[in-house]
Amino acid sequence: MYKIITDTSCDLSKDEMQKLNISYVPFNIHVEEDEFIDDDNLDLNGLLEKMEKSHEPIMTSCPSPYDYLTIIEENLDKEIFILTISSALSGSFNSATVAANQAKEKHKDLKITVLDSKSASAGHTLVVLKLLELLKDNDFDEAEKKIRKIIDENTTMFVLESMQNLIKNGRIKKSTGLIANVLNIKPIMVSNNGEIDLYEINRGIRKSLDKMVGAIELISKKKTFDMITISYCKNKERAENLKEKIKELYDVDQVIVNHTNGISSSYADLGGIVIAF
């Protein structure tokens, strides 16, 4: 028996996680004086509305070692995989590692591993879903070996409709962001060993999305995929259109579309699209 534990950077819905027997530990998101917990009770519309109205940067806090340890202690009879958002973006991986080490000190026979997804949102989701597939036919050690290889080969890309959150959170200079907004510049960003790099700059969201779809082959050197994941924030029609374009251009078994959870929504913002392959 195995158990997968993940933080809420994974964009599977809470219902999907329950059906798949995945336990999650939530991020906390702070907008001015309000705190939003990224759990079953999250008011996502309220979070997005508050973010849009606020001139202050959002603040996020990752799960604590205690949060992880609580779920580990509930699953000591299982082999445990913990998957976190990129360690370059959050302290969640470190919290999970501390918790796993504490658990192993108390329970010497416990089989547990902590995996840095080197991604977030759709990329994190892709890794979780592929681990589930691997566990159908592989033992713990073999599944861990294979999923680490998948993590290293995984690419995540995204295009944002708005750069307001990046400006407010100091990710880019305010003057640069304002010029980008005025000129309708929509940069394509790409993961690079867990960090975020600029891939390409275009004018207009449609052009950037088309270029992002074309970049799948340029980056991967492939046209055949078993799975591609898409996460979106409040723009399902755009995500579904992107899915159809991907299916037209590539031989792909599954294109899985999910709305972003709270932590991904807080950075993707309204209209953001994230893909992973």
| Arithmetic mean of pLDDT, 191-202 | 88
pLDDT at 119 over 90: yes
Tens digits of residue pLDDT in 225-250 = 999 999 999 999 999 999 999 999 99
pLDDT at 179 over 60: no
User: What are the backbone angles phi and psi of residue 234, rounded to the nearest 5°?
Assistant: 60, 35
User: What pLDDT was estimated at residue 1?
Assistant: 92
pLDDT at 160 over 90: no
User: What pLDDT was estimated at residue 112?
Assistant: 98
Contact 132, 254 (CB under 8 A): no
pLDDT at 30 over 90: yes
Structural tokens at position 236: 């399902």
Cα(164)–Cα(85) distance, integer angstroms: 23
User: What pLDDT was estimated at residue 225?
Assistant: 98
Cα(140)–Cα(149) distance, integer angstroms: 14
192-196 contacts, C-beta under 8 A, 24 or more apart: 193/88, 193/118, 194/86, 194/87, 194/88, 194/89, 194/116, 194/118, 194/119, 195/86, 195/88, 195/89, 196/89
Q: Classify domain 2-153 by CATH number.
A: 3.40.50.10170
What is the average pLDDT score of the chain? 92
| Arithmetic mean of pLDDT, 43-59 | 91
For the chain, the structural domain boundaries read 2-153, 156-276
Pairing mode of beta strands 28-31, 34-37: antiparallel
Give 181's pLDDT tier (boundaries 50, 70, 90).
low
pLDDT at 174 over 70: no
| Arithmetic mean of pLDDT, 201-207 | 90
Report the half-sphere exposure of 43 (CA within 13 A, side-chain side).
10
| Arithmetic mean of pLDDT, 8-28 | 95
Contact 128, 261 (CB under 8 A): no
| Arithmetic mean of pLDDT, 36-61 | 93
Instruction: Pick 172 or 41 by higher pLDDT.
Output: 41
pLDDT at 7 over 70: yes
Cα-only R_g, the chain: 19
User: What pLDDT was estimated at residue 56?
Assistant: 86
pLDDT at 182 over 70: no
Report the half-sphere exposure of 130 (CA within 13 A, side-chain side).
28
In angstroms, the Cα distances linking 164 to 178, 197, 200, 276 are 8, 18, 19, 23
| Arithmetic mean of pLDDT, 141-158 | 97
Read off the amino acid at residue 193: N
Structural tokens at position 171: 């990710």
User: What pLDDT was estimated at residue 169?
Assistant: 59
Listed residue (215, 223, 164) closest to 189, CA to CA: 215
pLDDT at 173 over 60: no
Contact 193, 236 (CB under 8 A): no
User: What pLDDT was estimated at residue 187?
Assistant: 85
Q: Classify domain 156-276 by CATH number.
A: 3.30.1180.10
At 199 the three-state DSSP class reads: strand
